[in-house]
Structure 1
Amino acid sequence: MVYMVLGVLFIIIFGFDIAYTAIMLSPSESDEPELQGHPVKINKTGAIIPVMDVEYLEHVIIEEHDTEYVNPWRRRAIIYMALINAGVLVALGVLSLWHSQLIGRGETSIEANINKAETVRLAETGKVYMNPYNFGTRKNWKIFLGLVQGRTFLKKCNFTISS
């Protein structure tokens, strides 16, 4: 879950410029340079011929300045991606935080519900419930990560079984 949250956060951070350019800026404000030069045609032999026909040039100039065309599907796709990424970031981010708290208390999600009910039940009788698997936040995380019995991230312990 944490890797997914980090991946989505990466996409949001580095995709912000693309989304901003596609959604907020008009095509004239974007960084894409305007094409320079004269219109050309390709004849039957594949040769490029500059267009000098005045009627054709006027038609091209009128078409260019009629509307500033922005592909609506690109905008929709970027907005959809942004919504999906934001939803995944919030949902998995909250779930990751909740599970990190559970690990710190030495509980699973089912045990958290059972322990809450036991705390309420024993509080009515004047007793205090203690989770038998809570060894303190630091030790709970070490147990979760498997950093016990001499193991580290870099080295595993070699156990020998003697008969």
Structure 2
Amino acid sequence: MVIGVFFIIICGFEIAYTAILLTPTDVDEPELEGHSVKINKTGALIPVTDVQYLDSSLIDDEQNFEYITPWRRRAIIYMTLINSGVFVALGVLSLWHSQLIGRGETSIEANINKAETSRLAEIGRIYTNPYNFGTKKNWRIFLGLVQGRTILRNLFLPSAHEPIGDGLTWHTIHDENIDEWP
């Protein structure tokens, strides 16, 4: 989502810049040429079947900007604010979760580990997260690239392998065969 919103921001920058900063706001909306129906003397509506063309020689050369209606300008400002907000909010959330993955924690475990670290520091002991195998190994576990699994087979194609463990217990740094896994 962060990458998609960033793509929208980059591709829409010129449109937003032109609509917000370069388009004058004090210009009245252009008057419409003609009507879709005409009213005759009796009050009956007669549909217009001919097309009226605007003679390009009548256009004032001093007004060389593309006119943007006020509602379109407000819509572009709204989209700019929404995309910027989503980019910042999800960007910060993604960075925070990337750090959690690197430390081998969930968001709940981060709070528990913080409390345990301060509690044990008061009595002179050091707390060690039992699920922190190091940044590189934690990311490999998160992506499922353990026990011979590859990026192509595990991330981009459907995977037929069984999940690691039984879902109730997890490997820790205290396991005897820690060098063999993952």
TM-score normalized by structure 1? 0.70
Displacement after TM superposition at 1:155 (Å): 3.0
Moved over 4 A (4+): 44-51, 156-160
CA spacing shift, 1:135–1:47, aligned 2, 3 Å: closer
Q: 1:127 to 1:72 in 2, by over 3 A?
A: same
Which structure has the highest helix share of the two? Answer: 1
Instruction: Name the count of aligned residue pairs.
Output: 133
Alignment of 1:14-163 (within 5 A): 14-26=11-23, 46=49, 70-155=68-153
User: Aligned residue for 2:37?
Assistant: none
Give the 3-state SS of the residue equivalent to 2:153 in structure 1.
coil
Q: TM-score under structure 2 normalisation?
A: 0.63
Q: CA offsets per residue over residues 79-132 of structure 1, 9 Å max, x none?
A: 000000010001000000000000000000000000000000000000000000
Q: Do the aligned partners of residues 25 and 135 (structure 1) sit closer, same or farther apart at CA in structure 2, a change above 3 Å counting?
A: same
Separation (CA, whole Å) in 2 of partners of 1:8 and 1:71: 25
Alpha-carbon RMSD = 3.4
Identity of paired residues, percent? Answer: 72
Unaligned runs of 5+ in 1: 28-38, 52-59
The alpha-carbon deviation at position 136 of structure 1 amounts to: 0.1
Cα deviation, residue 45, structure 1 = 9.0
Distance 1:108 1:84, change over 3 A: same
Unaligned segments of structure 2, at least 5 residues: 25-32, 35-46, 163-182
